[in-house]
Chains A and B, each alone.
Chain A
Amino acid sequence: MAQMHEVDYRIHGDDMQYVEIELDPDEAAVAEAGGMMFMEDGIQMETIFGDGSQKAGFLGALVGAGKRLLTGESLFMTVFTNRAAAKRTVAFGAPYPGKIIPVHLGEIGGELIAQKDSFLAAARGVSIGIAFQKRLGVGFFGGEGFIMQRLQGDGLAFVHAGGTLLERALAPGELLRVDTGTIVAFQPTVDYDIEYVGRIKSALFGGEGLFFATLHGPGKVWLQSLPLSRLAGRIYAAAPQRGGGREEGSILGGLGGLLDGDND
């Protein structure tokens, strides 16, 4: 407990949120490089190699940084330390529409497995490492790949995901079938597996792919209603292709473009 920094926070906004973290003097928060929205005077920003939790010197930092490289994260993290004599605030913005979830790692057994890229910020002392999915089938078809983020410690961590968040505690043996890709995070006690949808017809036309992800309790799971990849897919599909515009169902069709004047 001693080395974790207790932080107070407030989450603002509805679907495009940011989290404001209040730091006592000499308290610090870590965040992905590039996540900061604003910071008050007195907060000092320092970029560190690795995730800032290693104490083993340069080699430890190098290993931490190497693992971060594997997850596709930046090699660096940023530490925000309050050097002022009074409380100061730093804020981090979510990178796309969705919700920010605060997770008290201490209350859930000290460990959270999250989809990669979902980490936003944490109290200093939380280690942001990677966890490998060792099962081939789950790694290939589970929707989260082979590499996930492992947040360890007993402080507060902020995780971000797309759309609306569902937090649910599963009882032992309780089963939830979910669409692959909607998993944001779970406690390590949750049994995460895949299940074939069962019928060729469903597999091809059901729109859910060949596999469900299955989550068996006990433990908490967090699901997102709109994975970024799905949002990006829809935006890409609706984006003007070859310079043309797509009207919102105008009965004029192609002629509509001739009539309204404010298009470039």
Chain B
Amino acid sequence: MPFVPAITDLEQLKGHPAIARLQESIAGVVLGAKFDRDEMSIYIERSLIREACSFLRDDQTCPFNYLSDVTCVDWYPSEPRYEVVYHLLSISKKERVRLKVRLDGDNPALESVTSVWPSANFFEREVFDLFGVRFTGHPYLQRIQMPEDWEGHPLRKDYPVEGYR
């Protein structure tokens, strides 16, 4: 397949149904977008992530009713350092969309989406455990993979691959 450069201009992507409806209903929610390799990413304002998820889940035209995954990417040493990534799937329309929230390096925190999808519970715990991103309003934000008394967050880029010895 021929290589197509990514489209990152929000003006060009405004026509995408999920972006258009999000912008229409919640002011200031969409900070940017990227269409690359047939996949749509939408950058969401940090304080509005729960509203955005809730809106997309209940949207009549294309309900993204299934949360596939929550994860995180650490862009250390650049700022904003963390990108929390949500993969949404519409079971009826067979469509995917990716939401992203950018977070600063010191004290990264954002609102939990467990009240929208209970499935976010383990995913968010994993991100908290391995990246140290806090999710406010999470019912049980404890370490999930690492031992409870572990120090540090292994998937951060400034954490050595061999661990601290």
Do A and B bind? Answer: no
B positions within 8 Å CB-CB of A:
none
A positions within 8 Å CB-CB of B:
none
